[in-house]
Amino acid sequence: MGVDSGGTFTDVVTDDGRVLKVPSTPDDPGRAVRDGVRAGRAAGDTGRPSLLAHGTTVATNTLLEGRGARVALVTTAGFADVIEIARQDRPDLYDPWADRPVPPVARGDRLEVIERLDATGEVLVPYAPGLAPLPPEGCEAVAVCLLHSDLNPDHEYAVAEELRAAGWDVSASYEISPEFREYERTVTTVLNASLRPVCAPYLEGLREVADEVVVTTSAGGLVGLAEAAVRPVSLLLSGPAAGVRAAAAVAMVCGFPDAVTFDMGGTSTDVGLVLDGAPASAPGHVVAGYPVRSPSLELHTIGAGGGSVARLDAGGALLVGPESAGARPGPACYGHGGRLPTVTDANLVLGRIPAGVPFPGLGVLDVEAARRALDESGVDAAGVVAVVDAQMEQALRTVSVERGIDPSGLALVAFGGAGPLHACDLAAALGIPAVVVPPAAGALSAVGLLTSPPRRELVRSWPVPTDHAGLDEALAQLADRALAQLGDDVDPAGAVVATFADCRYRGQSHEVTVGSVEEFAAEHWRRNGFRRDGEQVEVVAVRAVATGAAPADVAEVLGRATPFGGPVVGPDVVVRDDCTVWVPAGWTGTPGPLGSLILRPSGPGGAS
């Protein structure tokens, strides 16, 4: 069973293909999970499921709501303020009132130890054992991050062990984020320390819900409860990552190994790239302004969705977002007192969302209220859709064309409540020949929970970037460790491991992750438009990714979801409980594998 916690609903998908929703319980999110598991049981079944795959918002919400534990930070003497100085840049060039995110450790909780490593990890000032500082009263956890510890963890290990012996919950940077760049490593370690006292009890509380409980990480991989509880900072993109996994799997079965994923919800939209069936991965991501260095799927998020508000600016241009009507009052057509026109109102007035059809939880939408809101703000419905589509198109370009990917070889996988409303127009604008709408498009993240592989990724800094002697041995060792750790969660039979190197040319300071040093020049050329043969290639870090078999096959999970019918010839609307599909004039939708709907431009060379 897959259970995905969302803001409003908790989605449940069973391995026999049933999809259902129960209301979320933000005050105690575990209750909705248990409700969902109960609701997901087959009739007459009173036992617990053999496996629960969970997509959780607990880490994200704890961070966004500032409910994390108070953390003491131990740094190298002289560097306690790195956590506040950050990278010295400010978040907005022209708005003097825009603040950086609050430093996640208060000044009085920043502690220093006397020790120092040099730039190769050699000891300059030894750490004298027994001198770990005592965290101030009121701190619940400790983060330890010493300079250059990614090259040599000895000092950090010694400090962490002393504090652990004294009973402290310690996150050490060499364990949580062993990569160079001290600010990013410190932030990641501190956030982990802060999340753990909140997330660990929540996750432990789910242990009895199923015979086995696994959790999806930001990388769209499953890990056991124990690993998730130790490393909650790896869960910040849990739900969205699972959605991309499912989208990739559906696209693959439909014959599209390369795709862009387009998940448009009420307040934001996530787009991602899938190549050869695999979602593009990233070494980190940004949450609430904090750069989190933890393996992730590469998701590009924009702050616009169905609830984004439209208005005219003082110069007479039509703006959409970033203000959102949210769930309450929501779009004007919800009839909850919203007076501002949103993207959803525009879609309704244009007939892209049908009037007179009841939607679960919302009833019949109020077209007149939508029209009134648009008129009062002086914006026209088609214009609102055009502007929001331009924003979406830019995001889709960023993950495809701008990476050197030719859109004519891609499919656009549309999901989320609003994704299938905008997908065909976006595909047309980008020259993408096909749109895939999976069944259960409104609960795809829950589907992805069951179709994600168990996954462990290990990374370590490479000490001398220009000297590659021993690289193969190091990669092999790292691969063995990744496989061994994966074995903590799953049967290692059938597990596979791949290794990577983060490379750059000498003198560069941004890395590209590639399968081998030999692949670097070609990848650099694809991404950046040039290569420098003869230039020294540096290796900054090495990675190993071990994966196992997903709990369920996407065909099994979607096998019993209500399939799309067809063909549908545009202009037409297909209304489902969890999403609405807009088929514009000139487009035709035909039923595809797994009950999906595949839309293509009609006419010669189009629909087939």
Partner 1 sequence: MLSPADLQVLIARLTGVADLMGAVLQRSAFSPNIKERADCSAAVFDASGQVLAQAAHIPVHLGSMPASVAAVVRAFDTGAGPADSALGPGEHAIVNDPFRGGTHLNDVTVVTPVWVDGVLRGWVANRAHHADLGGAAPGSLPADATDIAQEGLRIPPSRLTLDLRELILANSRTPWERSGDLDAQVGANVVGAERLAPFLAQPTDEVLDHGERLARAAIARLPDGEWSAEDRMDSIGPGGPPARLCCTVRVEGEGVEFDLTGTDPQGLGNVNAVEAVTVSSVAYVVHSVLGRDLPTNAGVLRPVRVVAPPGTIVAASYPAAVGAGNVEVSQRVVDVATLALAQVPGLAVPAASQGTMNNVLVGGSGDGASRSGWVYYETVGGGQGGRPPHPGRADAAPQPGMGGVHTHMTNTRNTPVEALERAYPVRVLRYRLRRGSGGAGWAPGGEGIERDLQVLEDATVSLITERRVSRPWGLAGGEPGAPGENWLLPVGDEARAERLPDKCTIQLHAGDVVRMFTPGGGGWGALPMPKNI
User: By the criterion CB under 8 A, which residues form the site for partner 1?
Assistant: 78-82, 84-90, 92-97, 99-100, 118-119, 147-148, 150, 180-184, 312-319, 379-380, 382-384, 386-387, 390-391, 394, 397, 402, 465, 505, 507-510, 524, 527-530, 532, 535
Q: Which is nearer to partner 1, 542 or 581 (CB)?
A: 542
End-to-end CA distance of the chain: 36
CB 463 within 8 A of CB 182: no
**How far apart are CB 472 and partner 1 at their closest, in Å?**
23
Question: What is the helix (H) or strand (E) element at residue 484, kind and residue range?
Answer: helix 471-486
CA dist., res. 345 & res. 380, Å (int)? 10
- Shortest Cβ distance from residue 379 to partner 1 (Å)? 7
Q: How far is the CB of 357 from partner 1 (least distance, A)?
A: 27
Do β-strands 455-461 and 358-359 pair in parallel, antiparallel, or remain unpaired?
Answer: unpaired
Torsion sign over Cα 363, 368, 374, 380: positive
Pick between residue 119 and residue 123 the one whose CB is nearest to partner 1: 119
Is residue 546 within 8 A of residue 540, CB to CB? The reply is no
When the beta carbons of 85 and 522 are compared against partner 1, the nearer one is 85
Q: How far is the CB of 144 from partner 1 (least distance, A)?
A: 16
Please state the φ and ψ torsions of residue 298, each to the nearest 5 degrees. -85, 105
Nearest-approach distance from CB 182 to partner 1, in angstroms:
5
Q: How far apart (Å, rounded) are the C-alpha atoms in residues 163 and 193?
A: 13
Q: Which residues fall within 8 angstroms of residue 31, CB to CB, at 6 or more apart? A: 25
Beta-carbon contacts of 401 under 8 Å, excluding residues fewer than 6 positions away, are 407, 430
- Spatial neighbors of 25 by CB under 8 A, at least 6 apart, are 10, 31, 32, 35
Least spacing, CB of residue 166 vs partner 1, in Å: 26
Number of helical H runs and strand E runs in the chain: 16, 35
Minimum CB separation of residue 386 from partner 1 in Å reads 5
User: H or E element: which one contains 3?
Assistant: strand 2-5
**10 vs 269, beta carbon nearer partner 1:** 269
In DSSP notation, 73-124 reads EEEETT-TTHHHHTTS--S-SS-TTPPPPPPSS-GGGEEEES-EE-TTS-EE
Cα–Cα distances in Å, from 181 out to 46, 111, 293, 542?
A: 51, 19, 10, 15
- Neighbouring-strand partners of residue 275: 278
The residue (of 88 and 608) whose beta carbon lies closer to partner 1 is 88
> Burial of 44 by CB count in 10 Å (0-12 exposed, 13-18 middle, 19+ buried)?
exposed
From the list 455, 40, 422, 16, the residue with the least C-alpha distance to 242 is 455
To partner 1, the closest distance from the beta carbon of 133 in angstroms equals: 16
Nearer to partner 1, 148 or 285 (CB): 148
Q: Which helix (H) or strand (E) is 286 found in, with range?
A: strand 285-287
Provide the minimum distance between the beta carbon of 318 and partner 1 in the complex, in angstroms, as a whole number.
4
Beta-ladder partners of 230: none
CB nearer to partner 1: pick between 111 and 379: 379
Q: Nearer Cβ to partner 1, position 97 or 328?
A: 97
Min dist CB 299 to partner 1, Å, is 17
The smaller minimum CB distance to partner 1, of residues 82 and 199, is found at 82
Paired sense of beta strands 259-264 and 411-415, if any: parallel
Report in angstroms how near the CB of residue 413 gets to partner 1 at its nearest: 23
Closest CB to partner 1 among 1 and 82? 82
- Residue 146 Cβ, how far from partner 1 at the closest point, in Å? 11
**SS3 label, residue 30:** helix
Give the nearer residue to partner 1 in terms of CB position, either 489 or 538: 538
CB 579 within 8 A of CB 305: no
Of the two residues 74 and 254, which places its CB atom closer to partner 1 in the complex?
A: 74
Closer residue to partner 1 (CB): 96 or 605: 96
Supply the minimum distance, in Å, between the C-beta of residue 390 and partner 1: 4
Q: Are strands 587-591 and 597-601 parallel, antiparallel or unpaired?
A: antiparallel
